[in-house]
Structure 1
Amino acid sequence: MPHHTDPAPVGKPEETRLFVFLLVFLFPLLSVLTVSGYGFIVWISQLFFGPPGPPS
């Protein structure tokens, strides 16, 4: 049984499809998740520690 370790060459249509997928779907989704996650962390920290600024 031969052992084939070289990956199959990727053609131009597959590269174009991957680029469009990354550009249209993955990067915007990761951006939204990153900003939402940061907002959630800020919201939870203010819930526990109060709003920022000097105590009044």
Structure 2
Amino acid sequence: MHRHPEGDPVEEDRAGRRRELGAFLFLTVVLFPVLAVLIVSGYGFAVWVTQMIFGPPGV
């Protein structure tokens, strides 16, 4: 039986799919929601500070 010097390609494929699934879940469950909250809250903070300095709109 011939062995591949770099290892079993089926096991490497499974490990690659597992890493890819883990990266996908991390992005969709953790990173994107955190980034969305940070971006929206950062924009709100910028508007709040701007209104403290220049006053509310229409004044």
The TM tier, using the shorter chain, reads 0.7 to 0.9
Q: Which runs of 5+ in 2 are unaligned?
A: 1-12
Corresponding residue for residue 26 of structure 1? 31
TM-score (norm 2): 0.73
Q: Which structure carries more helix by proportion?
A: 2
Moved over 2 A (4+): none
Q: Count matched residues.
A: 46
Identity of counterpart residues, as a percentage?
Answer: 57
- Which has the higher Rg, Structure 1 or Structure 2? 2
CA RMSD of aligned residues (A): 1.6
TM-score (norm 1): 0.77
